[in-house]
Amino acid sequence: MTDLSDVRPGRAEGDSWDITESVGATALGVAASRAAETAQPEPLIRDEFAFLLVAAAGPAWAQLAGSEPHWIGDDPEAHRIHGIARNYQAVRTHYFDDYFTEVTHEGIRQIVILAAGLDSRAYRLDWPAGTAVYEIDQPKVLHYKTETLQAHGALARAQHVPVPVDLRDDWPADLIAAGFDPEQPTAWLAEGLLPYLPADAQDRLFELVGAHSAPGSRLAVEDFSMDPARYTPEKRAERRARGEQMRASLGLDIDVDALMYTDDQRADAAEWLAAHGWDVDAVASVDEMARLGRGADADELAELGLDSVLLRARLDGVTR
């Protein structure tokens, strides 16, 4: 029997998008959370570029990125869910910001952000002199970001190298053509990416990262668990309906669930990397949220599709 909650009308092989379309809009969504967090009285992270990057996409997006979600109306449940999602995004940003501080202290000067979206780390983190930050994403997404930041006079704090290419294509060739040196240790990041890749594309991505990682390279990943026992079709349907309701109040027609590949036997990222020679250090998002004072209930995170593992891995030899 076909399970309608697993139908993905929003994706096709080789699909592409602009910032407000399809998977591009998810970059606006997470940047809106970073903007809202930045505007909190005691923010866990500060992304001073997030609001302007989101607001440039139009008034509805600007509302989404506002400090208070007035657009939700007076539904307390919707406010609660919005708060959990904002806390989740703040904690994951904090985790990966911290990762970059760690790798630069180790002496790594070559950074590759896979599916960079509206990530502004090249502009907002304190990079040591000589650091190059390569950003891979779809061409229109990267163009939107660089144009918007330029228009606001933002200056990158590292050598910033956009690499417009699809991660399902031969992206290493483009990365190398842009100046990337596979002989140098690299710190890679895959944040907010894996659910948007089919399972085999995820394996291929990790294989290519490994094949282009000199000894001493690092990799950080956000791996959503999508545990079918907890993230049931009913829960997904519920989340979709609520999401639809919330977006309708803003006039945004984006269905994130329809963009994800969740019905496959996807490899567990930590297990896959450990089996291929990486030394992995992982933490459950629920534990990291508790540690940073943004605790959430584990079942609830799972029901919202926010149950993930955040991991940092190191490659001391070569991949197997």
Find the radius of gyration of the CA atoms of the chain.
19
Q: At a CB cut-off of 8 Å and minimum separation 6, what does 257 contact?
A: 236, 239, 240, 243, 305
The first and second tokens of residue 234, run together, are 């009913």
Task: Give 78 or 256: the residue with its C-beta nearer to ligand SAM.
Answer: 256
- Residue with CB nearest ligand SAM? 117
Closest to ligand SAM by CB, 140 vs 157, is 140
CB of 171 to ligand SAM, least distance (A): 8
- Which of 168, 276 has the CB closer to ligand SAM? 168
Minimum CB–partner distance for residue 166 and ligand SAM (Å): 4
Locate 298 and state its tokens.
Answer: 């584990």
- DSSP character for 68? S
Provide the minimum distance between the beta carbon of 154 and ligand SAM in the complex, in angstroms, as a whole number.
16
Maximum distance among all alpha carbons in the chain?
Answer: 58
Alpha-carbon gap, residue 270 to 194, rounded angstroms: 13
Q: Which is nearer to ligand SAM, 158 or 167 (CB)?
A: 167
E strand or H helix at 55, and its extent? helix 50-55
Report whether 318 contacts 216 (CB < 8 A).
no
Write down the least CB distance from residue 199 to ligand SAM, Å. 13
Q: Which is nearer to ligand SAM, 75 or 97 (CB)?
A: 97
Contacting residues toward ligand SAM, per CB under 6 A: 23-24, 26-27, 30-31, 115-119, 137-138, 141, 166-168, 191-193, 196
CB nearer to ligand SAM: give 56 or 118: 118
Cβ of 276: how many Cβ atoms within 10 Å? 17
Is residue 315 within 8 Å of 216, Cβ to Cβ? yes
Closest CB 129 distance from ligand SAM, rounded Å: 25
Task: Give the shortest CB-204-to-ligand SAM separation in angstroms.
Answer: 11
